[in-house]
Structure 1
Amino acid sequence: MRLDLLSRLMAERAARRPAILVTQLATGAQRLVTPETLAADPLSADLRKALRTGKSGAVGEDADRAFLTVEVPPPRLAVIGAVHISQALAPLARVAGYDMVIIDPRTAFATAERFPDVRVIAEWPDQALPEVGLDPFTALIALTHDPKIDEPALEAGLNAGCFYVGALGSRRTHAKRLERLSARGLGSAALDRIHAPIGLDIGAVSPGEIAVAILAEVIGALRKDGPAMVRPEAAA
């Protein structure tokens, strides 16, 4: 690999931005594709699929055959609320390969004893989230049922382009939430991105079942749709 391409690839990785090294198998020519150059690339459809799956591999036929070396940031879950659902979600997220951080200013709940092997930040979301650093490969999950805690976090997740933003609560609760978020200046296009009631509709009742439904919906958002930066409409 050319040194300049390697340097650029390492810089993208350090900044948690996706990139693909394209190697033409017939000639050995290489180029680095980022979300900014994705739309104009002749392999854009294959590149988008590779960024959604995170898998490297060969694409194309004959002289156009190329190998895609895919570098995508590991997906993360930023969970607002140190609640029972969060306790059930933590081991599931670990098995699925997601890094997870829990944010909750209520120090009685946000403890290492309740969440072993999970990063717990006992601060308000507006204080903690800048340190966490939301990005398009992060899912923002709000579970406290407290507007003072959940809604600033939801706003931050939408503004950061998180690939998934979801909130616990009934349709009636969510309708009132949307009114408050709209009053904060969020437009309808952003508000429509919130998954609520959160999780796939599988009839989940217990915290464990709700956690399964949430994680399944998160995985679907990442693998079927992908972060907004790699969707076709992002280039429009």
Structure 2
Amino acid sequence: MERFDRSPEVALEWYRAGKGATLATVVQTWGSAPRRVGAQLAISGDGEIEGSVSGGCVEGAVIVEALEALEEGASRMLEFGVSDEDAFAVGLACGGTIRVLVEPIGSVMSEALLTELVAARAARDPVAYEVNVETGSRRLVREGHQQRMRMDRSGFEEGSALFVAVHNPPLRLIVVGAVHIAQALVPMARIAGYDPVLIDPREVFGSSDRFPGEEIRLDWPDEAVAALGLDARTALVLLTHDPKLDDPALESALRADVFYIGALGSGRTHAKRVERLTAAGFSAQEIARIHGPVGLDIGAAGPAEIAVSILAEMTAVLRGKAE
């Protein structure tokens, strides 16, 4: 999936409301395609839609096919290709081609299976949806596909008819310290697909005027982090320079399975941080999980460039490219 959309959830709502529903999923792409493999579109029996498989250029055709598949009670594999001459006009640039699997709910994908998928997504439980397009077998799996899960990469297993759709929880960024760097980092992270949350008990910093439209928690960081929960799809970035605010959240992160921990400060500041954490009983191996000073060394100057370095380092760690 690209962003965490609500196509499965909405499809289940429509099905339970008696409208009928199908899920259309991009299963393969060639050339330049506007949506990644795994992107989904839900279509109700009334022609309502949620999500997208192509950014709009083939949605109309998919809807027609989906309504016919719903009436027949059978899945369909669709393929859309556009020549180089007219590709750009409809959004499939450079002769892009996509294959879309259409699955009616109830007759093809069971209500029980879709319910299980929706429950896993609500619980932030990473799962993979497997469908064999030749045999029609379908199931959810919670083990295996480690590389696909880490890279958020849906697709066919090489040389087989087994399609694997990755359903990871949305990436989440928790920022402690509503400072100038956060003003640049939060919108950048949102563009990159994160759901950001700001924590700062200082109301003068954590104000909606400084962060319009963002989720801000005016709580002490340890309390806010405990309420939010920490998991393997969460990054924590500490920006306050104040041990009273940073350290409680940092200690919570070191006890959790977050994929990234970054802390602002010079090498000297980080050395003092290490001393405090060592005295608190954390091992050298645990403390080594902290990226401090935070961010890749790109010679950043100013809050915006520091934010770029932080987001770049988060991406490198998430995708297994960090040194």
Report the Cα offset of residue 7 of structure 1: 3.1
- What are the equivalent positions in structure 2 for 1:91-130 lying under 5 Å apart? 91-130=187-226
Instruction: Answer yes or no: is 1:57 the counterpart of 2:155.
Output: yes
Q: How does 1:21-100 map to 2 (within 5 A)?
A: 21-34=129-142, 37-38=143-144, 47-61=145-159, 64-100=160-196
**Corresponding position of 1:9:** 117
- Tell me the distance in 2 between the aligned counterparts of 1:181 and 1:5: 45
* Greater relative contact order (Cα < 8 A, sep 6+): 1
Q: Normalising by the residue count of structure 1, what TM-score does the alignment of the two structures yield?
A: 0.85
Instruction: Using the TM superposition, give the Cα deviation of residue 24 of structure 1 relative to its aligned residue in structure 2, in angstroms.
Output: 2.5
Query: Separation in 1 of the partners of 2:307 and 2:257?
Result: 23
User: Matches of 1:15 and 1:173 in 2, distance apart?
Assistant: 37
Report the structure number with the largest CA radius of gyration.
2
1:209 aligned partner: 305
Q: Which is further off, 216-225 or 130-139?
A: 216-225
> Which of 263, 281, 300 is the matching residue for 1:185?
281
After superposing on structure 2, the runs of 4+ consecutive aligned residues of structure 1 that deviate more than 6 Å are none
Structure 2 counterpart of 1:188, one-letter code: A
Bigger helix share: 1
Q: Single out whichever of 5-14 and 174-183 deviates more from structure 2.
A: 5-14
The letter of the residue matching 1:108 is V
CA positional deviation for 1:72: 0.6
- Whether 1:140 and 2:229 are equivalent positions in the alignment is no
Shift of 1:153: 0.7
Deviation at 1:14, TM superposition (A): 0.9
Paired with 2:321 and 2:236, the residues of 1 have a C-alpha distance of 16
Q: Which amino acid aligns with 1:202?
A: I
Cα distance in 1 between the residues matched to 2:291 and 2:125: 24
Distance 1:127 1:201 in 2: 32
Helix, strand or coil: the match of 1:141?
Answer: strand
Q: Secondary structure at the match of 1:224?
A: coil
> Secondary structure, in 3 states, of the residue corresponding to 1:126?
helix
Unpaired segments ≥5 residues, structure 2: 1-108
| Amino-acid identity (%) | 52
Q: Distance between the aligned counterparts of 1:184 and 1:9, measured in 2?
A: 40
Question: Which residue number in structure 1 is paired with residue 290 of structure 2?
Answer: 194
Matched residue SS, 2:173:
strand
- Aligned-partner Cα distance in 1 for 2:150–2:232: 12
Q: Does the CA contact (< 8 Å) of 1:77 and 1:100 recur in 2?
A: yes
Q: 2 CA distance for matches of 1:122 and 1:66?
A: 47
The CA deviation at 1:3 is 4.1
**TM-score normalized by the length of structure 2:** 0.63
Q: Considering only aligned residues, what root-mean-square deviation do their CA atoms show, in Å? A: 1.7
SS in 1 for 2:299: coil
Q: Shift of residue 56 of structure 1?
A: 1.9
Cα distance between partner residues in 2 of 1:225 and 1:161 = 18
